[in-house]
Amino acid sequence: MKTRITELLNINYPIFQGGMAWVADGDLAGAVSNAGGLGIIGGGNAPKEVVKANIDKVKAITNKPFGVNIMLLSPFVEDIVDLVIEEGVKVVTTGAGNPGKYMERFHNAGITVIPVVPSVALAKRMEKLGADAVIAEGMEAGGHIGKLTTMTLVRQVADAVSIPVIGAGGVADGRGAAAMFMLGAEAVQIGTRFVVAKESNAHQNFKDKILKAKDIDTVVSASVVGHPVRAIKNKLATAYNQAEKDFLAGKKSAEEIEELGAGALRNAVVDGDVVNGSVMAGQIAGLVSKEETCAEILEDIYLGAAKVIKEEAARWSDI
Ligand code: TUI
């Protein structure tokens, strides 16, 4: 099965592993790319040396294509832009902002640029600036999110641009992937299910939170102060949302609230503090109940999508 995305990137499966900060390291991205998907290193807020070590790791694991996600709120964003160019990284995805000012440098270096967009307006702007594709990520996703749902965003972005669209947010299996293709996507990006992959180095406590989560267990924090983030409900998320109420009542400063979030993702992913740390995960966590290898996950999604698409097509074949 081929789409413009599998051809553009020379990958077997039209499946990206989300570039999740702290989680998407060289081991995870290397395993996904090696198995035929697009593994993506999550730059997050990491300094250049850390991202470079992860790039070296992927290159040691596989010769296949991989990407680096540049989180545009990072204090090290300029360094990471330099790094991906120096290292000959072929694919860059961006998140949490507008990568417009780096586009020319990426293209001069022959990099395929795929920004995450939370709206049709940004998708169109990215297409005009020469983006090779866009990832339309709905608010079902974990981590930093926009306002629209995946269902409405993917459909409207696919209608508005001519470049290929990757659907993300709320996808964890073949049925979800098939739904994205029906909406006009030519690949899917998946985060939460890869957090619990065998090759993922996320702390077991973090994985267990996802494996045990139900459909309604995530909440959005920092909608008032900071950047909206979806995570599994815990003491931190509850405290953050209470602090925001206090802020609106004039009883707390923005700085005091932002303090709560500092280092919270690292605390959960690396140290396993899933009480006071931020357990970022998508709403589809309720469907994720097994630790598997990246190869097993990719095959399950790909074959699962093929199965339901064929079954559904058969139902419509007489019309
Ligand atoms: O970036 C993500 N997900 C993330 S980043 C992250 S690290 C972080 N932690 C705490 C606070 C903030 C960041 C954890 N999860 N997904 C991609 C994404 N991009 N979601 C939303 C956006 C986005 C939002 C606004 C992309 C562009 C944008 O543009 C605004 C503009 O400048 O036009």
Instruction: Output the six-digit token pair for 314.
Output: 């058969």
Residue 207 CA to residue 135 CA, distance in Å, equals: 25
Place of tokens 């064929």: 310
Total domains in the chain come to 2
Query: Do 161 and 251 reside in the same domain of the chain?
Result: no
Average pLDDT estimate for 86-97? 98
Query: Do 102 and 212 reside in the same domain of the chain?
Result: no
Q: In which domain, by residue range, is 163 found?
A: 4-202+288-315
Mean pLDDT of the chain: 97
Q: Is the CB of 98 under 6 A from ligand 1?
A: yes
Query: Do 192 and 210 reside in the same domain of the chain?
Result: no
- Among protein residues, the one with the nearest Cα to ligand 1's atom 3 is 144
Residue 126, number of CB atoms within 10 A of its CB = 26
pLDDT in tens, 172-189: 999 999 999 999 999 999
Query: Do 223 and 155 reside in the same domain of the chain?
Result: no
- Among protein residues, the one with the nearest Cα to ligand 1's atom 21 is 145
Residue 94 CA to residue 201 CA, distance in Å, equals: 22
Average pLDDT estimate for 140-160? 98
- Among protein residues, the one with the nearest Cα to ligand 1's atom 14 is 143
Query: Do 182 and 278 reside in the same domain of the chain?
Result: no
Q: Is the CB of 145 under 6 A from ligand 1?
A: yes
Task: Give the nearest ligand 1 atom to 121 CA.
Answer: 33
Query: Do 180 and 238 reside in the same domain of the chain?
Result: no
Query: Do 189 and 221 reside in the same domain of the chain?
Result: no
Q: What is the pTM of this model?
A: 0.97
Query: Do 164 and 308 reside in the same domain of the chain?
Result: yes
Pocket test for ligand 1, best of 41, 73, 116 (most atoms within 8 A of CB): 116
**pLDDT band per the 50, 70, 90 thresholds, residue 224:** confident
131 C-alpha to center of ligand 1: Å?
A: 17
Average pLDDT estimate for 180-202? 98
Query: Do 132 and 273 reside in the same domain of the chain?
Result: no
pLDDT the model gives residue 223:
86
Residue 86 CA to residue 14 CA, distance in Å, equals: 27
Q: Is the CB of 65 under 6 A from ligand 1?
A: no
| Residue 275 DSSP class | T
Query: Do 297 and 154 reside in the same domain of the chain?
Result: yes
**pLDDT band per the 50, 70, 90 thresholds, residue 171:** very high
| Domain CATH number, residue 30 | 3.20.20.70
Instruction: Output the six-digit token pair for 299.
Output: 């095959």
Residue scoring higher pLDDT (262 or 77): 77
Residue 72 CA to residue 80 CA, distance in Å, equals: 10
Angle at 163 between CA 40 and CA 105, to 5 degrees: 60
Average pLDDT estimate for 92-121? 97
Q: Is the CB of 31 under 6 A from ligand 1?
A: no
Average pLDDT estimate for 96-122? 97
117 C-alpha to center of ligand 1: Å?
A: 9
pLDDT in tens, 28-74: 999 999 999 999 999 999 999 999 999 999 999 999 999 999 999 99
4 C-alpha to center of ligand 1: Å?
A: 25
Query: Do 145 and 215 reside in the same domain of the chain?
Result: no
251 C-alpha to center of ligand 1: Å?
A: 28
Q: Is the CB of 44 under 6 A from ligand 1?
A: yes
Query: Do 174 and 219 reside in the same domain of the chain?
Result: no
